[in-house]
Amino acid sequence: MGFSHFIMVKMAKFNFSKYKNKNILLLCHENADLDAISASAILQLLLKQKNIDSEIAVPSHINEQASAFAKKQKIKFITSPNLKKYDQIFLLDFNDYDQLGKLREQFTILQKQKSFEVVSFDHHVVEKRSIDTSKIGVSNKHSTTQVLFNLFKKDFNEKMFFYACVGMIEDTGHFIVGDKELFSDFSFCLTHSNKSYNEILLFTKNKMDKGKKLAFLKTAQRAEIFEINDFIIAFSNVSFFQGAAATKLLSLGADVSLVYGISEKENSSILSCRADSYFKEKNNFNLVNDLLKELQKNLGGEIGGHSGAAMWKGNASEKIVKNNCLGIIRKKLLH
Ligand SMILES: [Mn+2]
Count of CB atoms situated within 10 Å of the CB of 152: 17
pLDDT at 92: 98
For 263, phi then psi, to 5°, come to: -95, 105
- Long-range CB contacts (within 8 A, 24+) of 296-301: 298/324, 299/324, 301/268
Q: How many domains does the chain have?
A: 2
pLDDT at 2: 38
Distance 256 CA to ligand 1 centre (A): 32
Strand partners, 120: 91
pTM (two decimals): 0.67
Indicate if 275 and 139 belong to the same structural domain: no
* Domain contains 4: no
pLDDT at 13: 64
Per-residue tens of pLDDT for the chain, all 335 residues = 334 444 344 444 678 888 999 999 999 999 999 999 999 999 999 999 999 999 999 999 998 889 999 999 999 999 999 999 999 999 999 999 989 999 999 999 999 999 999 999 999 888 888 999 888 899 999 999 999 999 999 999 999 999 999 999 999 989 988 899 999 999 999 999 999 999 999 988 876 778 889 999 999 999 999 999 999 999 999 999 999 899 999 999 999 999 999 987 778 999 999 999 899 999 999 999 999 999 999 999 999 888 888 999 999 999 999 999 999 999 999 87
Structural domain span for residue 65: 19-204
* Domain contains 10: no
Distance 55 CA to ligand 1 centre (A): 19
Distance 200 CA to ligand 1 centre (A): 17
Distance 137 CA to ligand 1 centre (A): 13
Phi-psi map region of 178: left, alpha, beta (phi>0 left; psi -120 to 50 alpha): left
Distance 172 CA to ligand 1 centre (A): 9
Distance 75 CA to ligand 1 centre (A): 18
* Domain contains 98: yes
Indicate if 49 and 111 belong to the same structural domain: yes
Indicate if 189 and 129 belong to the same structural domain: yes
Domain boundary among 204, 238, 271: 204
Q: How many angstroms separate the CA atoms of 314 and 309, rounded?
A: 17
Distance 26 CA to ligand 1 centre (A): 15
